[in-house]
Structures are given as C-alpha cells and as structure tokens.
C-alpha cells in the first residue's frame, strides 16, 4: 500500500466519532512504521483502522484515540459500550473454576499471586479458597469492580499496576484479557516482569486474531492490539520471559482465544531486537480478514441495536440475558 493510500484510509477514522483525538503509533513489537491496512471500521462504527505490521505481523489500531481519550473512555463510556465487561455471579465462578483447573500445576501451596484486572475477583477468590496458604491480591482499574472484590474480602487496589503499591516479588501474575487493552503492552509486560520474583510465572489469556472468530465483534475501540500465538510468543520473549505453555482455546465459553504460561528468565530485550520464530503472513491476514468480515454491515446494525437494548435493560438484566454467550462477548 502506498503512503498516500494509507493516509487516505487513516482519514476515515476521524469521521466515525468526531470527538476522538487520534494519534498514529509505531508497532509495539518491532518498532516498525510500515503498517498495512486490514480493515477500516469497527463494531461501534467509529471507522477505526485495523492494521498489520509488515515487519512482524502484529495487528493493532492505527491511528487510535490518544491516552487521554482512552482515560475518558474508561471513566464513563466503557460501561455503556460494554455493559457486562466484568462478571459477578455463577458464570464468573464457572470461568474461574475452569482456569483453576488449567493452571493448577503452577499454583503451589503458599503462592503469592497478583492478578491484573481481576474484575469481580472470581479467580482470586478461587485460588484463595482452593490453594493452601495462598496470598492473593489484585489491581483493578474499575472502581465498581474493585469494590466488588473487596466485598469478598480480597485485597484489591483501585488503579493501574504502574502506580500500584502492590508488593513486588509475586510468585505468579495473572493477566486474563488485559494485554489487548493496554496502549503499550510491551511496557506493561516489563512492569509485570519487575513485579515477579526470579523464575516467577505469568499466566495470560487474550483473544486470538487467528482463531475461529467471525464478524465485527472482534474489532473495537477497547482492543488497540490483537495478538496471535506467534506475535504474543515474540512479545513475551522480548520482555524477559520464556514460554512454558501456549494453548489455543476454542472450547465453549473461550472461543477465539489462547492462553500462555511464561517464566521470568532474563532482562527484557531492546526495541530493535526481535526474537526469532515464525511470523504471521500479511497476505494471509488480509485473506483471513476478508473471509471473516463478509456481511460486516449487518453486524454494525445488530451491535448498535443490542447496545441500545442492553442500555434500556440495565446491568443486572443484561448479565442475566448474556449468561449463554461466549466468553469473548464479555471481554470488550
């Protein structure tokens, strides 16, 4: 794609939401400034561009709202766009139970576990209850979610890990559907690296851009980055981890995602060093997006109608009606 074509496609992003102040960003994995346009709209109709780095295959929004705009998003608009973003109740407990089984071999007695973005605290509560002597704590940006955690007797701060007083030296850090929300996932992983004890473990889950997703639901403002197992593997290696386990998830409730267990091993690499390994093909990503987004105009109408209905119902009825939806529905 020529530079003029790319600039033309970028101009479309501002028309979907005239209030957003946009910025262009470099690839968070390899630092390249050579993006290729994959699609020029999103599930909210803001006209945000999803691009692919021609150097390493990382998928991300470019241009995207500025950090200040994202702060404004999470202070109010986010709950309107995603009325069931965190899950109290039976469904959240079922998800936590499944995760407890997945990571049981890594959750030793007496473990110190920090969770970033614990939501209603279901996983922290399950670990505290089931793992002897476990000390659990969390950092949650949503005041309502953090308050729900504290009502369960959990030690959870309101805020972000970068400014948290959470004790360093955790044996394990959980980040479930968090890194795709970060404006700088590489910096966030470095921060988590610092908080881990030597040999400590990262438990991470994220949507899989190469998974079995279909339609506009995968593309939206709250996910400035989209990972594949390949790009995520490279990113955790770059930030001082070695991958212990990488599992693609397509079972009911976890469709279109993957999980990763990684161990802290060495100092993070510099920006210009890209770990060796398989790369996602830009051409194949273009074909995938074309195939998965057939009929996206109907999706746009459907999502707008659904958000209107959920807004009228309120959070409680919304969560009740969405109990049977895939997990990917909730992690907006």
Are both 96 and 75 inside the same structural domain? no
Paired with 176 in beta bridges are 205
Q: Residue 102 domain-assigned?
A: yes
User: pLDDT tens digit string along 94-115?
Assistant: 889 999 999 999 999 999 999 9
Would you give the end-to-end CA distance of the chain in angstroms? 30
User: pLDDT tens digit string along 289-329?
Assistant: 999 999 999 989 988 887 777 667 665 555 555 554 444 43
| pLDDT exceeds 90 at position 164 | no
d(CA 156, CA 138): 4
Are both 80 and 104 inside the same structural domain? no
| pTM as predicted | 0.86
Output the CA–CA distances (angstroms, integers) from residue 140 to 46, 54, 112, 173, 332, in the order listed: 27, 34, 17, 13, 16
Q: Which range of residues forms the domain containing residue 183?
A: 90-264
Are both 231 and 128 inside the same structural domain? yes
d(CA 268, CA 254): 30
184: CATH: 3.40.50.150
pLDDT-derived band at 180 (thresholds 50, 70, 90) equals: very high
Are both 68 and 205 inside the same structural domain? no
Q: Residue 54 domain-assigned?
A: yes
Q: What percentage of the chain carries pLDDT values higher than 90? A: 63
Are both 117 and 150 inside the same structural domain? yes
How many Cα atoms within 13 Å fall on the side-chain side of residue 160? 13
């Amino acid at each position: 794609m020529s530079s003029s074509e790319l600039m033309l496609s970028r101009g479309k992003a501002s028309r979907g939401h005239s209030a957003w102040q946009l910025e262009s960003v470099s690839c968070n994995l390899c630092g390249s400034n050579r993006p290729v346009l994959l699609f020029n709209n999103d599930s909210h109709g803001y006209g945000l561009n999803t691009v692919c780095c021609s150097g390493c295959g990382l998928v991300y929004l470019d241009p995207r709202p500025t950090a200040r705009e994202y702060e404004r998003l999470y202070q109010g608009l986010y709950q309107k766009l995603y009325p069931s973003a965190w899950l109290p109740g039976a469904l959240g407990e079922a998800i936590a139970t499944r995760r407890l089984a997945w990571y049981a071999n890594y959750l030793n007695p007496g473990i110190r576990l920090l969770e970033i973005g614990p939501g209603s605290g279901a996983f922290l509560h399950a670990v505290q209850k089931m793992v002897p002597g476990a000390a659990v704590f969390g950092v949650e940006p949503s005041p309502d979610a953090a308050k729900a955690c504290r009502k369960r007797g959990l030690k959870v701060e309101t805020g972000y890990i970068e400014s948290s007083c959470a004790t360093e030296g955790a044996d394990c850090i959980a980040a479930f559907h968090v890194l795709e929300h970060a404006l700088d996932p590489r910096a966030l992983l470095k921060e988590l690296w610092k908080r881990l004890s030597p040999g400590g473990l990262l438990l991470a889950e994220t949507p899989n851009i190469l998974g079995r997703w279909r339609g506009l639901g995968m593309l939206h403002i709250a996910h400035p980055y989209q990972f594949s197992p390949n790009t995520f593997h490279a990113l955790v290696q770059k930030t001082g981890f070695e991958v212990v386990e990488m599992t693609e998830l397509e079972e009911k409730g976890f469709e279109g995602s993957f999980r990763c267990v990684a161990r802290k091993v060495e100092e993070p690499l510099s920006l210009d060093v890209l770990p060796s390994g398989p790369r996602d093909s830009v051409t194949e990503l273009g074909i995938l997006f074309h195939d998965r987004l057939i009929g996206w105009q109907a999706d746009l109408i459907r999502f707008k109608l659904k958000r209107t209905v959920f807004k009228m119902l309120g959070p409680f009825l919304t969560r009740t009606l969405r109990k049977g939806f895939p997990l990917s529905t909730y992690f907006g």
